[in-house]
Each structure stands twice: as structure tokens, then as C-alpha cells.
């Protein structure tokens, strides 16, 4: 009875949405309003103004740098919220569970899984670094490389255990490593005032602007990888 009411409500909402969407111009035509005003300026003047042949990275880091700053702050805040909810360190160990002795979270993974993960991990790290550094010429960029690196750390924690992975970086530098993306963004934003006269303005000389873009991408990548690994480890060390 309640299921039927929910289904009717969802179908009614779907028909209302569809009635609105059919008024839009059909997708795929080059003359639509999304290609006209601002995007046309980005496509035509993109490379000279922003210094990056990859237009998406140019939009993300140069034209809409403030939105990317908000994005890295959001994912860092998510890590803080997850740690606050679950408890860190001794608080987590005391609070979790019903008093049973804490079993090692890693089930004995089969030797095939262990071997494949240990074989693939260096290649994944190299690919992540390549995607991060070449992000302004080829498709890719900072966050893509960072997520691939974070996925590699998750796989490693399946193979060698979450305690060993979280012991790879000492706790004091780990805090700075997780916060590196918002901090570097803030430094580049303030230095943009000195270099080109506008907040977030990567400088007018193309070489310095290119170098600043690579620095930003590396910061986003490393910060994203550290945050994703931190979220996974805080959940994985809860399992008993």
C-alpha cells in the first residue's frame, strides 16, 4: 500500500520533470545556448589565455579556480567529519564493538590476490603520476591521478593490512599531507595577487603560469589521494 503510493509519487514527479525537459533544445546540436556565450569564449581563446591545451583543466584551474578551491575544501571537510563521527585512535579502539577481542581486519587473502596486487602497485603509482603531471595536455588532471593513487592504497591495504598502510606516513606529517590541497590553493591565490593583479590569477608569463598549474595539480592529486586513503582506513579499522 505504501509502496504503491511511493511508486505513484515517483511516476508523477518523473512526468513533471519530463514535461519540463522536452522544452529544451534537443541534445547534440551545435547551436544550443550552452555553446554560445561563455563556453564559446573559452573554446576560442582558451589556450592562449589559460596556457593549457586541455580545455577542461584550463576551465577548472584558471577560469573557475574558486570552484576548485571549494571542491578540495569539501573533500577535506568530509574526511574531518568521518574522523569526528568514528573516533580517532584510542577513542575508536575503546568505543567500537561489544568487548570481543579485536580481530585483524584483513582476512587471509589468497596468494594470487597478494601477488597480483604487489605486481600492479608500482604501475598504478606511475600511471597516477603520469596522469597528474600531463593533466594540462592530455585528458586527465589533478583529481583523476589522485583517485587512482588512492585506489592503489586501498588495494595495498587489502594485500598487506590496513595497519601497515596507515603506518607508512608518520602521524604529524600525515595531517599536513591531507590538508595540502586547500593550503597550496590558498598560497597560489594570494601569490596571484602579486604576480598578476587578481586573486587566483596564474601569472602573465606563460612559463610561470604553466609551472603554477602543475604545482596546483600535484597538490590536488596528493591531497585527494591522502584524503581518500584516510576515509577508507578510518572505516576499515572499525571492522572486527
Partner 1 sequence: MLQALFSHIDYVAVTVLFCAGLYIMIARGNLLKKVIGLNIMETAVFAFIVTTGMIDGGDPPLLEQGLGPDFASPLPHALVLTGIVVAVSVTAVALALIVRVKREHGTIEFDELGEPR
Partner 2 sequence: MIEAFNPVVLFDLLILVLLIICVISIARTRDLVRAAILFSVYSLTLCLLWVHRGAPDVAMTEAAVGAGVTVALFLVVIARVGRRER
Q: Which residues bind partner 2 (CB under 8 A)?
A: 54, 56-57, 131, 139-141, 143-144, 147-148, 150-151, 154, 228, 231-232, 235-236, 238-239
Task: Confirm if 92 and 75 have CB atoms less than 8 A apart.
Answer: no
Q: How far is CA 198 from CA 11, 194, 205, in A?
A: 49, 8, 14
Nine-digit cell at 127? 600511471
With contacts defined by CB under 8 A, name the span among 63-71, 105-113, 118-126, 182-190 that binds partner 1.
Answer: 63-71
Q: From the list partner 1, partner 2, none, which binds 106 (C-beta under 5 to 8 Å, kind-based)?
A: none
Residue 221 CA, chain-centre distance (Å), reads 7
Rounded to a whole number of angstroms, the minimum distance from the CB of residue 86 to partner 1 is 5
Q: Distance (Å, rounded) from C-alpha 65 to C-alpha 63?
A: 6
In the bound state with partner 2, the residue whose beta carbon lies nearer, of 76 and 232, is: 232
Cβ within 8 Å of residue 216, ≥6 positions away = 61, 142, 184, 185, 188
In the bound state with partner 2, the residue whose beta carbon lies nearer, of 124 and 169, is: 124
Rounded to a whole number of angstroms, the minimum distance from the CB of residue 205 to partner 1 is 20
SS3 assignment, position 97: coil
In the bound state with partner 1, the residue whose beta carbon lies nearer, of 66 and 116, is: 66
Instruction: Tell the residue number behind the cell numbers 584558471, with chain if given.
Output: 62
Residue 87 half-sphere exposure toward CB, CA atoms < 13 A: 11
In the bound state with partner 2, the residue whose beta carbon lies nearer, of 121 and 147, is: 147
151 binds partner 1 (CB under 8 A): no
Q: From the list partner 1, partner 2, none, which binds 212 (C-beta under 5 to 8 Å, kind-based)?
A: none
Greatest Cα pair distance in the chain: 67
Q: Distance (Å, rounded) from C-alpha 187 to C-alpha 200?
A: 9
With contacts defined by CB under 8 A, name the span among 62-70, 152-160, 163-171, 188-196 that binds partner 1.
Answer: 62-70
Q: From the list partner 2, partner 1, none, which binds 43 (C-beta under 5 to 8 Å, kind-based)?
A: partner 1
Q: What's the DSSP call for residue 76?
A: H
SS3 assignment, position 209: helix
Interacting residues toward partner 1 by CB under 8 A = 2-3, 6-7, 10-11, 13-14, 17-18, 21-22, 24, 26-30, 32, 34-35, 38-39, 42-43, 46-47, 53-56, 58-60, 64, 67-68, 70-72, 74-75, 77-79, 81-82, 85-86, 95-97, 138-139, 143, 224, 228, 231, 234-235, 238
Amino acid at each position: 500500500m505504501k509502496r504503491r503510493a511511493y511508486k505513484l509519487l515517483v511516476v508523477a514527479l518523473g512526468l513533471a520533470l519530463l514535461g519540463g525537459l522536452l522544452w529544451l533544445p534537443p541534445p547534440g546540436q551545435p547551436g544550443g545556448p550552452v555553446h554560445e556565450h561563455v563556453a564559446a569564449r573559452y573554446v576560442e581563446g582558451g589556450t592562449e589565455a589559460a596556457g593549457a591545451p586541455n580545455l577542461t583543466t584550463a576551465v577548472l584551474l584558471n577560469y573557475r579556480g574558486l570552484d576548485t578551491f571549494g571542491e578540495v575544501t569539501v573533500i577535506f571537510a568530509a574526511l574531518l567529519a568521518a574522523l569526528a563521527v568514528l573516533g580517532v585512535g584510542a577513542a575508536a579502539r575503546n568505543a567500537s564493538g561489544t568487548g570481543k577481542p579485536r580481530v585483524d581486519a584483513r582476512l587471509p587473502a589468497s596468494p594470487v590476490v597478494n601477488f597480483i596486487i604487489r605486481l600492479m602497485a608500482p604501475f598504478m603509482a606511475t600511471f597516477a603520476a603520469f596522469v597528474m603531471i600531463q593533466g594540462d595536455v592530455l585528458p586527465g588532471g589533478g583529481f583523476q591521478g589522485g583517485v587512482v593513487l588512492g585506489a592503489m592504497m586501498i588495494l595495498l591495504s587489502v594485500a598487506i593490512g590496513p595497519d601497515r598502510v596507515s603506518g607508512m606516513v608518520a602521524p604529524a606529517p600525515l595531517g599536513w599531507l591531507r590538508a595540502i590541497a586547500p593550503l597550496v590553493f590558498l598560497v597560489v591565490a594570494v601569490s596571484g595577487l602579486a604576480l598578476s593583479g587578481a586573486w587566483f590569477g596564474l601569472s602573465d608569463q606563460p612559463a610561470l603560469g604553466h609551472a603554477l598549474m602543475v604545482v596546483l595539480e600535484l597538490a590536488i592529486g596528493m591531497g585527494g589521494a591522502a584524503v581518500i586513503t584516510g576515509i577508507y582506513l578510518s572505516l576499515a579499522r572499525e571492522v572486527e
